[in-house]
Amino acid sequence: MNYKIKLTVLTFIGSLGIATAQDLTTVEASSEEISDNLDLEAVASTFGDAKDLADFELRLNDPDEGISNLDLNEDGYVDYLRVVETGEEDTHVIAIQAIIGKDQYQDVATVEVEKDVSGKEQVQVVGDVYIYGSNYIVEPAYVVRPPIFTVFWRPHYRYYSSSWSWGHYPGWYRPWRPYRVGVYHTHCSRVVSVHHHTYYHTTVRRSVIAPQIHRHIYKNDYAVKHPQHAFAKRNSGVKNKAELNAQKHKNNEAMPNVNVKHSGKKVDTKWQTTSKKSPAKESVNNVKKTELKKTQQIKKSKSQDQEKGQKAKVKKVEQSNNSSTRSKTHNTKTQQKQKSQKHKNSDAKKKQKGSGSKHKTNKAKK
């Protein structure tokens, strides 16, 4: 009986130890909302920094960058995101697809690039309707022209298609476990190039051709298997991710930023989207003014300190000059007194001599 009790206690302690070890080593996403696990602004930023689509795919799957936090197949690891491209004339459609099994892929977003009639490139990152709802679109305005554009418009350009699939990944790739959503959002805020690009949210798709040619490469294997996980069924009463974020904001819940993110810099006039300017830029100007005032105050205080120091030096010099002048004046007065005293003494001696000579003359006459 005693043996059984001891064995039970040891088993209980052992189970506690295992649970503790699991808590320390396992990191799981804390949100069931799929759209919380891939920040499309981070995707847009990464696209703007990539030199070509192979580099874009590398950056999306770099564990150090941590752009994605998606684990659609729930195997405990972030899904590898492959990049597949198609296009027509001046339109490029880049599909980002999660590899979730053997010959199983799910579109998560598309990057649509198109030249307008004036020759300017328009970029939109469109979230897949299954994950983000209808018309969830991020439109980046890059400060400088993305280097990838020099590749797109070369003659004899070949559309990019990832060669990686389930179980076959690049040598540099190493899977990682998803982070808690709050940690992921904090990480993305550091990764996103806030100091270089600006992001607008819109529901208007610029390209008419892009949705049509996207059908040739579209994959939705996860959506077919799990129709109950569609955005419309996960979130009744809201159309897309933007409305969901607005609703969360009203309820004072934690959420990723919905409003435009700013760099505080002007977009290069040689290349920019035709999106309307965000009224939030006024806040940027206010920040600039505040920073300018702080800088001016610092400079003013420094100049005041310098002036005080200079005045103190001048005062010391004046004091030393005054003291030397006083000593010189005192010495001069002393010398004058001594001279006048000497003159008085010499005059007294002369008088004495004169009176003595007169007395002798009188005696002689007598």
Whether 349 maps to a domain, the answer reads: no
Does 215 lie in the same domain as 308?
Answer: no
Whether 200 maps to a domain, the answer reads: yes
Whether 5 maps to a domain, the answer reads: no
Does 295 lie in the same domain as 218?
Answer: no
Q: Which residues pair with 141 in a beta bridge?
A: 198
State residue 26's pLDDT score: 36
Does 227 lie in the same domain as 291?
Answer: no
Q: What is the mean pLDDT of residues 246-270?
A: 58
Does 251 lie in the same domain as 165?
Answer: yes
State residue 28's pLDDT score: 42
Does 136 lie in the same domain as 118?
Answer: yes
Last residue of a domain, one of 213, 240, 275: 275
Model confidence over 342-360: pLDDT tens digits? 666 666 665 565 555 545 4
Q: What share of the chain is helix, strand, coil (3-state, %, to 5)?
A: 50, 15, 35
State residue 243's pLDDT score: 93
Assess contact for 91 and 207: CB atoms under 8 A.
yes
Model confidence over 54-71: pLDDT tens digits? 999 999 999 999 999 999
Does 255 lie in the same domain as 123?
Answer: yes
d(CA 294, CA 227) in angstroms, rounded, equals: 55
d(CA 205, CA 216) in angstroms, rounded, equals: 19
Domain count, the chain: 2
State residue 344's pLDDT score: 63
Closest-CA residue to 92 (of 42, 139, 156, 152): 152
State residue 305's pLDDT score: 72
Does 74 lie in the same domain as 113?
Answer: yes
Does 296 lie in the same domain as 172?
Answer: no
Tell me the pLDDT band of 282, cut-offs 50, 70 and 90. Answer: very low
Does 64 lie in the same domain as 184?
Answer: yes
Model confidence over 119-172: pLDDT tens digits? 899 999 999 999 999 999 999 999 889 999 999 988 889 999 999 999 999 999
Does 258 lie in the same domain as 156?
Answer: yes
Tell me the pLDDT band of 46, cut-offs 50, 70 and 90. Answer: very high
Burial class, 45, CB count within 10 angstroms (exposed 0-12 / middle 13-18 / buried 19+): buried
Enter the pTM of the model: 0.63
d(CA 298, CA 292) in angstroms, rounded, equals: 10
Tell me the pLDDT band of 80, cut-offs 50, 70 and 90. Answer: very high
Whether 101 maps to a domain, the answer reads: yes
Last residue of a domain, one of 211, 242, 275: 275
Q: For 45-94, what is the HEC assignment? A: HHHHHCCCHHHHHHHHCCCCCCCECCCCCCCCCCCEEEEEEEEECCEEEE
Enclosing domain of residue 304: 279-318
Does 228 lie in the same domain as 133?
Answer: yes
Of all residues in the chain, the percent with pLDDT exceeding 70 is 63
Q: Mean pLDDT over all residues of the chain?
A: 78
Whether 362 maps to a domain, the answer reads: no
Whether 324 maps to a domain, the answer reads: no
State residue 343's pLDDT score: 65
Whether 8 maps to a domain, the answer reads: no
State residue 331's pLDDT score: 63
Structure tokens at 291: 């920073």
Whether 96 maps to a domain, the answer reads: yes
Does 265 lie in the same domain as 289?
Answer: no
Last residue of a domain, one of 275, 308, 335: 275
Q: Catalogue the E-assigned strands of 102-241.
A: 104-115, 121-127, 137-142, 197-202
